[in-house]
Amino acid sequence: MATTHIDAEPADIAPTVLLPGDPLRARHIAQTVLDDARQVTARRNMLGFTGRWQGQPVTVMGGGMGIPSTAIYVTELARTYGVRRIIRIGTCGGLGAANLGDVLLAQSASTDSRFNRMQFGGHDLSAGADFGLLRAAVDAAAGMGLPVRVAPVFSSDCFYDGAPDLLDHLRRHHIAGIEMEAAGLYGLAMREGFAALAILTVSDQLDRGQHMPAEQREQGLERMARLALASAASA
């Protein structure tokens, strides 16, 4: 049985899902990192693939950009497909000491989105990563010799023209990265009862006006996929 936005059978989706924003990145990861990957959904070209990693089934699927798109796929993955863990792998803008290429494990995600408030009686939800997955990611990164920073991030609804003083507030609160999805993913994980983590490579350094070349972004993606898979396998 398919959902409105995912045309896979329930058995086609694995309990562990890697969620890049871009469906073509999902295909790239499936082709380069998974064994025996096959396409399981393509509705609206939001491609998803299921294969195996070290013998265990894994799905990698695009989630789009921003909380509303991500939330559609994540809600259907949780409610209809019963997924147990979703690891977002993506990029973020870095602030302060977060340098281009750094890998952030998002411990918490503040936001200017109303998405979580709408489900939480108008109150501020403390949107946090699953501790087991976060700890597994820290340990897996150490095992891979990959330096990571466990850090608070901010999920914004505006890529362009957000609140003019937003970055000052983020710096004041020592928030290391800004992206557009983690807070929604974490809020949904808390409500729907699955484990979530966002692993983010700093692709833009906002204090220093630096941007990562496309080739380096691709390498960062594969590195995050391998870290996500190792984390999920040991969480």
Q: Which residues are catalytic?
A: 204
Least distance from ligand HPA to the Cβ atom of residue 160, Å:
9
Say which residue the tokens 């989630």 belong to.
Answer: 63
Least distance from ligand HPA to the Cβ atom of residue 229, Å:
22
Return the number of the residue (26 or 178) whose C-beta is nearest ligand HPA: 178
Told to check if 91 binds ligand HPA by CB under 6 A, we report yes
- Report d(CA 202, CA 31) in Å as an integer: 24
Told to check if 203 binds ligand HPA by CB under 6 A, we report yes
Angle CA(119)–CA(122)–CA(127) in degrees, nearest 5? 60
DSSP assignment of 156-172: -S-SSS--TTHHHHHHH
Residues in contact with ligand HPA, counted by CB under 6 A, come to a total of 11
In sign, the C-alpha dihedral spanning 157, 164, 108, 212 is: positive
Phi then psi dihedrals of residue 90, to 5 deg: -160, -165
Contact 18, 82 (CB under 8 A): no
- Report d(CA 235, CA 231) in Å as an integer: 6
Return the number of the residue (112 or 192) whose C-beta is nearest ligand HPA: 112
Residues 114-173 interacting with ligand HPA (rule: CB under 6 A): 156, 159
String of contacts with ligand HPA for each residue 165-184, x by CB under 6 A: -------------xxx----
Return the number of the residue (13 or 206) whose C-beta is nearest ligand HPA: 206
83: Cα separation from own chain's centroid: 15
Told to check if 204 binds ligand HPA by CB under 6 A, we report yes
Least distance from ligand HPA to the Cβ atom of residue 139, Å:
26
Q: Which residues bind ligand HPA (CB under 6 A)?
A: 91-93, 156, 159, 178-180, 203-204, 206
